[in-house]
Amino acid sequence: MSAIENIQAVIDIGSSRLRVLIAQSNTEGKFSVLGCGVVNAEAVKAGVIKDIAAAKQALHYAIEEAERQSGYEIRNVDVAIGGEYVMGLNSEAQIFVSNQQVGNAHMRELVLQARHKVSEPSQQILHILAQQYVLDGRYEVAYPESMPARQVNASYHVLRADQTMCATIKRCVEAAGVGVNAIVSSALASSYMATTAEEREMGVCLLDIGAGTSDFMIWLNGVPIASGGLTIGGEQVSSHLAGKYSTTRQYAEMLKCQQGAMLLPLMKTQFLELPHTGLRSGRKIESADFVAAIHESYAQLFQHFEAALRRLGMREIPIHSIVITGGAAQLPGLTHYLEEKFALPARLAKPYFIEGLADHLQYDAGMTGVLGIAKLLYEPLPDHVWEIQPKRDIIRKLKHIFGRGSQWA
């Protein structure tokens, strides 16, 4: 495989940032970063692109920055979608094997059966991930092709997304001059990046808390068993603080990120300063009151999460740990709150050191999603969705990287 073929590009359209990453596989089977562009996503609210023209312009800036750093021009990308417009469903299939040997055609029939059961015109299927295969009602196997059997039962976790949202994302990316190879689930990308194989085997819930949306995926025995998204995140916490203290949302966000915590002992001062806004003069508020307000907002977020699990039929979570990631998951004391609430070990997942990634982006939990999309390309999971094969010539070496301004006019 040539050096060019080893290079991939991915996009994460988050609710606060647009991230574009160009990566290259290394000799160890991992990947390093050649370029990364990150810009504010003001045209995206709660995971929905509200203004294609503005989103296109922001995406163009991020693409150009990633290209400038890497020296490569992006031709096609994998792009993630998340929030409440993505849902995971479990689907089952059964076949009888006349010649008593499971072949490729039988495997295909199982997938098509499972896919048909959850297909809807308004939904685009993103992933079909095998959970379990059982031969003759007795023997559980990892993959039954070429094995002798009279009957095969299979179960799959199918991730699907709103067709209109997928079309909007595709149109936005293409408007920025880049083709779309595949749309992938943010929950899958984040959970694959943020959790270990051991955690996924024992049972883990990954919750990626962004600015306007949150995505979750629950793994057990090494396979996903539930997933979904919420239209709530750290931005709602900041809006609540702004309303409570009659200050700007921007200042409430800054105060939350720089001085906020879920536990009072983690606060550095007894009082916080609020600036002059409108007719209200600057004033002090007690840290205890500020922590209580943050606590209230995050409690609402996790109530939404529990309600989503109940809608999926999961009244009890069969897991051993909780892992949180995402920009809004970095609040001090949040893991302690989760351990008390769910009586389970909890940890904050930050990406491990990635060669080539800028220092200010290293170990940033907000980068988990875009790095997870890249990991799915370089360390792929068995996915039976059978999408169109990736286009050739994904990236080409730039000849005139600074001479493309007229193309974007």
Query: Domain locations in the chain?
Result: 86-160, 196-348
pLDDT score for 400: 45
Q: What is the DSSP string of 8-24?
A: EEEEEE-SSEEEEEEEE
196-348: CATH homologous superfamily?
ATPase, nucleotide binding domain (3.30.420.40)
359: helix, coil or strand? helix
Q: What pLDDT is stored for residue 403 in this prediction? A: 44
Q: Are 227 and 88 in contact (CB under 8 A)?
A: yes
**What is the distance between the alpha carbons of residues 329 and 335, in angstroms, rounded to a whole number?**
9
The rounded Cα 49 to chain-centroid distance in angstroms is 16
- Write down the pLDDT at residue 405: 41
Q: Do 347 and 337 meet the contact criterion of CB atoms below 8 Å apart?
A: no
88 Rama sector, left if φ>0, alpha if ψ -120 to 50, beta otherwise: beta
Task: Tell me which CATH code domain 86-160 carries.
Answer: 3.30.1490.110
Residues 6+ apart with CB under 8 A from 126: 81, 86, 159, 160, 161, 182, 183, 184, 185, 188, 385
pLDDT, averaged per 10 consecutive residues of the chain (409 residues), comes to: 75 93 86 96 87 94 97 97 95 95 94 95 97 96 95 98 97 96 97 97 97 96 96 95 91 93 94 76 89 96 93 82 96 97 96 94 96 96 70 56 39
The whole-model pTM stands at 0.90
pLDDT recorded at residue 387: 40
277 φ/ψ angles, rounded to the nearest 5 degrees: -140, 125
- Cα atoms found within 13 Å of the Cα of residue 99, Cβ hemisphere only: 9
Supply the pLDDT for residue 126.
Answer: 97
pLDDT given at position 1: 46
Instruction: Please list, in sequence order, all residues whose beta carbon lies within 8 angstroms of the beta carbon of residue 284, skipping any fewer than 6 positions away.
Output: 271, 272, 273, 274
Strand partners, 20: 11, 37
Q: What is the pLDDT of residue 305?
A: 94
Q: Express the helix, strand and coil content of the chain in percent, nearest 5 each.
A: 35, 30, 30
Among 73, 189, 178, 180, residue whose Cα is nearest residue 127: 189
Question: What confidence score (pLDDT) does residue 391 get?
Answer: 53
